Amino acid sequence: MVQEVVFRGISLFVKRDDLFLLESNGELGLSGNKARKLHHYLTADLSEISRIVSYGSAQSNMLYSLSCLARLRGWRLDFYADHIADDLVKNPRGNYAAAIANGAQIHSVGELARANQQSLCDYVEKNKVGGSSTLYIPEGGRSAFAELGLKELAAEINAWVVENEISNPKIILPSGTGTSALYLQKHLPFDVLTCACVGSADYLRQQFLKLSEELEHHPTMLFPPADSEGNAKKYHFGKCYPEFYAIWQELEQETGICFELLYDPQGWICLTEYVRQKTSEGKVLDESLIYIHQGGILGNESMLPRYRRLIS
């Protein structure tokens, strides 16, 4: 579904990919960006597999999405996190609580990895991934299989653009690993714009290079507004910023859509800054912006209490 909205006077479209799979199968739980990346594993013939191994944050949408996949396919999920916050163990909520309810086995191994002088990734790859019955999914689902689901999303978007005779379309979505933005750019005949939410723009460019050396597959980078010295503001992933909460609230009030609190606020800050630059000196925006809502709102259950403490 694509919805037409107006935000801060900007007319644009929101591709409701947060509803992908939820619309057709609510029971599944899996949705949005992670459903696209894991789509292959939902349907592929993987009869030899009985277990998934992955790693990352104990509050991540990926953990929750993998737990849905494992439950659906009757597999075990071993998920390795650096640590699990005491407060989360005492008061499970959001992605963590839902993953546990789905039977996920979540292990805290950061200390062990550090004792071995290994990164979490190295530790898991060297010690926990073995046997032909284990399906290993690297952090963020960064793999060639993710391309299959994202290629489908690209085809859906392109079909909608053609059918509705949308002129000069531009796709906007915020990036973590950049897997989604890169594969969309690879499979779409128009520009994909993104911003780096995890690490710097340089880090994101390196991630792009790991997935494809062809520069035409690389999305265009957007930035938050610059400060008085001309440097774009740097945000740290997972930290709370008053302007993030403010734009998140404003989005819900103006568009009626609930976005998530880790990636979307920066995505929309960069979008409005992009439009400000494009419309300076009275110029009219001659592009049709399509923002992709990639889901992940279950994580708001962990973020909202943190924001309420910060704001009150």
Ligand X SMILES: *Cc1c(COP(=O)(O)O)cnc(C)c1O
Q: Which residue is nearest to ligand X (CB)?
A: 296
CA separation for the pair 79, 242 (Å, rounded): 32
User: CA angle, corner 176, sides to 75 and 312, nearest 5?
Assistant: 100
Cα–Cα distance measured from residue 307 to residue 312, given in angstroms and rounded to the nearest whole number: 8
Minimum distance, C-beta of residue 122 to ligand X, in the bound complex (Å): 20
Closest distance between ligand X and the C-beta of residue 155, in Å? 18
Q: Between 174 and 265, whose beta carbon lies closer to ligand X? A: 174
Choice between 201 and 285, CB closer to ligand X: 201
Backbone angles phi, psi at 196, to 5 degrees: -90, 115
Q: How many angstroms separate the CA atoms of 211 and 250, rounded?
A: 35
Which member of 29, 169, 265, 296 binds ligand X (CB under 6 A)?
A: 296
Instruction: Provide the sign of the torsion angle of the four alpha carbons 12, 17, 19, 20, taken in this order.
Output: positive
71: which residues sit within 8 A by CB, 6+ positions away? 102, 103
Q: How far is the CB of 174 from ligand X (least distance, A)?
A: 6
Closer to ligand X by CB, 12 or 262: give it: 262
The 47-66 contact track toward ligand X, x by CB under 6 A, reads --------------x-----
Shortest gap between Cβ of 67 and ligand X (angstroms)?
14
Residues 6+ apart with CB under 8 A from 289: 10, 12, 13, 169, 170, 172, 271, 275
DSSP strands (E only) in 116-271: 134-136, 169-175, 192-196, 220-221
Contacts (CB under 6 A) with ligand X, residues 221-280: 260, 263
Figure out which of the listed residues 295, 302, 303, 307 binds ligand X, where binding follows CB under 6 A: 295
List 174, 187, 244, 291, residue binding ligand X (CB under 6 A): 174
- Measured from the CB atom, the residue of 210 and 276 that comes closer to ligand X is 210
| CB of residue 43 to ligand X, shortest distance in Å | 20
The answer to whether residue 175 forms part of the interface with ligand X (CB under 6 A) is yes
Cα 247 → chain centroid: 18
User: Counting contacts by CB under 6 A, is residue 94 touching ligand X?
Assistant: no
* Whole-number Å distance between alpha carbons of 60 and 58: 6
- The residues that touch ligand X, with contacts defined as CB under 6 A, are 32-34, 61, 140, 174-181, 260, 263, 294-296
